[in-house]
């Protein structure tokens, strides 16, 4: 064999070895971050659709018949207690006051006249000039005229009260609703729609319902003997508005109905929130978010899960660094960016926490152990 042939053979062998080493590197085991599951404290939020009402929703209705003469506020305006809202034109009530005043003058004159008659007859009776019956009759006449005066004064007060109804003021601080009637509209106490509604929304009530099972869980987990004791020890709740913003001030669940609706199986509850800025209006829709703390929860990061047909799965690594998919159920509860799982995994199991989209069943991985606390703190 020539020297050239030997040199060529050595080049081929070295190239094959190089290619073999390169291929081994390409097919090497990829590292994946792995954590060991251990119980953690977790806060689970339960969301309940709610309807929002102001602390007061007062319908403003006229007490007399008349035409709307003036409107002093606009829709959506913020008003104070006693602030002028409407004026009703009702001239007949002014005339009734004038008539009542005139009747009082007549009644006063009648009383004075009757008093004069008593004063006239009394000395005559004392001198036995006239019979005592004359004095008694005069006294009865005076009493009748005094009663008529009192009646006239009552009619006058009633006329003034009716006249005062022509001016309508706000009974409370609040926000004005719609104004269905304009200037010139004929209104009365039996009109279908109110003149407007004043809503006091410095505090708001969020009404929501929970089912019977949730109600039992609520109260069994709460401290206290009576229902009010249990409600007082429940944690503050949040109000999530329709645009997803959370009301800055937390509220408290203050009431729970004593009956469960037999048709729906629901228990009605009410949470109260401070709303000094008037951000939330009556009639709004929102979500009451109720937190619940679990001291020994198994948390699985959401990025460590994948979903198939509504069920969640994670990859668990065995002692041979081989992974297998495990079903953790469809009822895993969200806790931030993690799930609280009830079955499928247990404390001490090792799960892959990232890059799972590239994993396959029974695949051998190169585990890169990560501290579980650092993973949970970053969620």
Instruction: Measure the CA–CA gap between 209 and 271, rounded to whole angstroms.
Output: 11
What's the average model confidence in pLDDT over 288-317?
88
Q: Is the pTM of this model over 0.85?
A: no
State the chain's mean pLDDT as an integer.
Answer: 85
Would you say residue 79 has pLDDT above 80? yes
Note the pLDDT of residue 323: 93
Of 169, 189, 165, 148, the residue nearest 96 (C-alpha): 165
All domains of the chain in start order, with CATH: 31-44+295-377 (2.40.420.20), 47-55+199-293 (2.40.30.170), 63-85+169-193 (no CATH), 91-165 (1.10.287.470)
What's the average model confidence in pLDDT over 354-368?
90
Instruction: Measure the CA–CA gap between 88 and 166, rounded to whole angstroms.
Output: 5
Would you say residue 4 has pLDDT above 80? no
Note the pLDDT of residue 6: 43
Instruction: Measure the CA–CA gap between 378 and 226, rounded to whole angstroms.
Output: 40
Note the pLDDT of residue 154: 95
Would you say residue 315 has pLDDT above 60? yes
Would you say residue 266 has pLDDT above 70? yes
Q: How many CA atoms lie within 13 A of 185 on its CB side?
A: 16
Measured in degrees and rounded to the nearest 5, phi and psi for residue 132 equal: -65, -20
Instruction: Measure the CA–CA gap between 355 and 294, rounded to whole angstroms.
Output: 28
Residue that has been written with the tokens 């203050």 in this structure: 254
What's the average model confidence in pLDDT over 348-357?
91
* Percent helix / strand / coil, the chain, rounded to 5: 30, 35, 30
Confidence of residue 278 (pLDDT cuts 50, 70, 90): confident
Note the pLDDT of residue 331: 60
Would you say residue 67 has pLDDT above 90? yes
The mean-pLDDT minimum among 14-23, 37-46, 341-350, 357-366 falls in 14-23
Contact 58, 174 (CB under 8 A): yes
Note the pLDDT of residue 73: 94
pLDDT digits (tens, 9 = 90+) for 167-225: 999 999 888 999 999 999 999 988 889 999 998 888 999 999 988 888 887 777 778 77
Note the pLDDT of residue 233: 84
Pairing mode, if any, of strands 78-79 and 252-256? unpaired
The mean-pLDDT minimum among 155-169, 271-285, 364-378 falls in 364-378
- Give Cα separations from 130 to 112, 118, 139, 177 (angstroms): 22, 13, 15, 73
The mean-pLDDT minimum among 44-58, 191-205, 206-220, 303-317 falls in 206-220
CB atoms within 10 A of CB 93: 21
The mean-pLDDT minimum among 108-122, 254-268, 322-336 falls in 322-336
Instruction: Measure the CA–CA gap between 246 and 274, rounded to whole angstroms.
Output: 13
Note the pLDDT of residue 334: 65
Q: What is the percent of the chain where pLDDT is above 70?
A: 90
Would you say residue 8 has pLDDT above 80? no
């Amino acid at each position: 064999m020539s020297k050239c042939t030997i040199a060529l053979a050595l080049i081929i062998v070295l190239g094959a070895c190089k290619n073999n080493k390169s291929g081994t590197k390409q097919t090497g085991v990829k590292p994946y971050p792995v954590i060991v599951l251990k119980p953690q404290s977790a806060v689970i939020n339960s969301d309940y659709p709610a309807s929002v009402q102001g602390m007061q929703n007062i319908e403003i209705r006229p007490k007399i018949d008349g035409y709307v003469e003036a409107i002093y506020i606009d829709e959506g305006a913020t008003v104070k207690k006693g602030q002028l809202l409407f004026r009703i034109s009702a001239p007949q009530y002014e005339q009734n006051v004038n008539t009542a005043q005139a009747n009082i003058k007549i009644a006063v004159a009648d009383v004075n006249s009757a008093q004069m008659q008593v004063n006239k007859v009394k000395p005559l009776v004392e001198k036995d000039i006239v019979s005592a019956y004359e004095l008694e009759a005069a006294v009865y006449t005076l009493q009748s005229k005094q009663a008529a005066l009192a009646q006239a004064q009552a009619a006058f007060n009633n006329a003034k009260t009716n006249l005062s109804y022509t001016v309508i003021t706000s009974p409370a601080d609040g926000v004005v609703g719609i104004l269905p009637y304009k200037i010139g509209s004929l209104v009365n106490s039996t009109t279908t729609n109110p003149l407007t509604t004043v809503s006091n929304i410095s505090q708001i009530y969020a009404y929501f319902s929970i089912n019977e099972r949730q109600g039992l869980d609520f109260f069994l987990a709460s401290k206290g003997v009576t229902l009010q004791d249990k409600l007082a020890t429940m944690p503050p709740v949040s109000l999530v508005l329709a645009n997803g913003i959370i009301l800055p001030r937390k509220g408290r669940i203050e009431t729970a109905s004593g009956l469960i609706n037999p048709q729906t199986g629901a228990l009605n509850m009410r949470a109260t929130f401070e709303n000094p800025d008037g951000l939330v209006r009556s009639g709004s829709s929102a979500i009451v978010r109720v937190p619940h703390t679990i001291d020994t929860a198994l948390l699985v990061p959401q990025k460590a899960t994948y979903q198939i047909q509504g069920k969640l799965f994670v990859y668990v690594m065995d002692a041979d660094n081989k992974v297998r998919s495990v079903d953790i159920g469809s009822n895993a509860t969200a806790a931030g960016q993690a799930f609280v799982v009830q079955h499928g995994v247990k404390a001490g199991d090792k799960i892959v926490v990232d890059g799972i989209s590239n994993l396959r069943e029974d695949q051998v991985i190169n585990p890169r152990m990560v501290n579980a606390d650092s993973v949970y703190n970053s969620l």
